[in-house]
Structure 1
Amino acid sequence: MKLAEVLKLVEGEIVVGANRDDVGDIEIEKVAASDLMSDVLALSEPGSLLVTGLATPQCVRTAGVVGIPVVLIVRNRDIMPETKTAAELSGVVLCVTKKGMYEVCGLLYKAGLKPVFQG
């Protein structure tokens, strides 16, 4: 599913990275949802989408380390300027939605996106 479709589904918007020519065409196949960045480091896959309630620079840095191109922050959190700067420097697309994590994950799963960890 293209990022543009994901954002339409969850009523999200791009905060950082909208100036990229390919941003809407980023392909998302799997989703990681966590507020524990240690779990993201251990269980994520490159190319997946990170759904989190954290709006700190650490979530963007963690995404960059594991090769996650897009971070979606839920619950319409205020995003610190440092987080935006981290996204700009790492090339991670930073998005936000007003919806909660449970609803976002349900919508993405129903739309056919797979979890990164299938136990």
Structure 2
Amino acid sequence: MYLYEIKEALNARVLSGEEHLDREVKSACASDFMSDVLAYVKDQSLLITGMVNPQVVRTAEMMDMKCIIFVRGKVPGEDILELARERDIVVMSSAIRMFIACGLLYSRGLEG
């Protein structure tokens, strides 16, 4: 699934990295606990979270993720967006709750 398709499915707003919406992702994970992402996630390239702090970007970078989607209407500050830009990670925000976001993406073929 391409990031532009994910943007449309979640009615998301791109906050950083709009030039990379042609990237393809094969799987996603969702968590507000970055320790769980580090411990249990393997080969996912999309992170769905409501946790808004710089550690999210650092975790995504460590796990080689291409995109972070902040759900529940969360919008990161400029410091977090700048960190993502430096690491070439696309950042989006969606008003949709995490559970619904996961369901919408799964129903369109994105694996967990």
Q: Mark yes or no: TM-score above 0.5.
A: yes
Separation (CA, whole Å) in 2 of partners of 1:42 and 1:83: 23
What is the TM-score normalised by the length of structure 2?
0.93
Q: Give 1:1-119 correspondences, 5 Å limit.
A: 1-18=1-18, 20=19, 23-46=20-43, 48-115=45-112
Separation (CA, whole Å) in 2 of partners of 1:114 and 1:46: 11
Separation (CA, whole Å) in 1 of partners of 2:49 and 2:23: 19
Post-superposition shift, 1:79?
1.3
Aligned residue for 1:72, secondary structure, equals: strand
Contact 1:56 1:82 in 2 (8 A): no
What is the TM-score normalised by the length of structure 1?
0.88
Contact 2:71 2:94 in 1 (8 A): yes
Post-superposition shift, 1:86?
1.0
Aligned residue for 2:58, secondary structure, equals: helix
Post-superposition shift, 1:93?
0.7
Gaps of 5+ in 1: none
Tell me the percent identity.
34
Separation (CA, whole Å) in 2 of partners of 1:84 and 1:6: 19
Post-superposition shift, 1:78?
2.9
Contact 1:60 1:83 in 2 (8 A): yes
Aligned residue for 2:92, secondary structure, equals: strand
